[in-house]
Structure 1
């Protein structure tokens, strides 16, 4: 017995060829092909557009936003849980919150140029709705919800692996992940002395530099890291050292 997903209230045929072509371009740019394009249209349909086209029976993206919010939080939670085994529940919660908050979602949406594809009412358009942070964050969540319904969680994760997770890995949220402070606390518990960070190498052109750092304790190297800034590289080195400490503790246990 085949269970079919309940379709969206959107009817793809009710949209103009211009709008259909725009969303075809979006799919090509994302390298994602929706099986049910009605879900994609709905993800980008603002309530103001629905209100101005009442006879068309369009559906806005608010319910997809609700679903996408949950899917995004689950996907990010699983990634962080597996990526940072040394983090406590409180640290994971704080980091996740910084990733799924409105300012971060706006950055993701802007990098994908989602704003230019949103279907808005004339009034919302004239008042700058296309660039409104809350609207852009909502559209990103709606898209995630639509992608989940259309293609499942694995494909949502694949999308996030291209758009969101790399930013975590290069330290875009290092202000939350203060590994240097955490490592300092670990070292102080054993009174082993002060930590020392040094940049051991710089690679790449000036506009795309990669720094390599190492952290030392009593002239003994504890860990190395790399990043797009010296601060980022030091944070990564501290994380590497923390992982080494955790590994040693497990072996001695």
Structure 2
């Protein structure tokens, strides 16, 4: 069984993390954040901001993409994760659901598809399967990378419900999303990445009220149209 971090320590602690790809491409610069026990923390940002890179650094899959941590560190409880392989992360209780599903019963609909090839499932069903596969490892911290990507609004709502159910069971979640409305409605805290650096951090509800987040990530106009309905994609 994975060790449980003490109550006064964050489940996940990322400190001044620098990541590069190849020899020169800087992807993250001095990124720091915590995920408390049982919390949902959202990570927002445009494509290329470094969100997926951060999840890879936590899950130990960075080197599979020719990336490397060049400074800082990642720790889950008393387990050092930076520079370790994915097995170390999983044994510590940290499991990632990657972007794009990548699949060939919290989700009863899948019971009707038990003899169907995963590649022939709908996008929403594939996302359910990808999350279900990760839950088989009984994670204490679930890393979700763009779970609503390419899904219809009704399915986005269902995925949001699933994340709430998972979190209610005691699993912390670090949620990477371009759908800021969905992410901020689920999260307690949020961080905004821009070009590999954390630009904004704070209480999710408070960030949702800031002009910058409302304009750039919630699609609100000057008159306040739009909002936190889970569909305000950025």
TM-score normalised by length of structure 2: 0.22
Higher helix share: 1
Larger Rg: 1
The higher relative CO (CA closer than 8 Å, separation ≥ 6) is in 2
1 or 2, which has the higher strand percentage? 2
TM-score (norm 1): 0.21
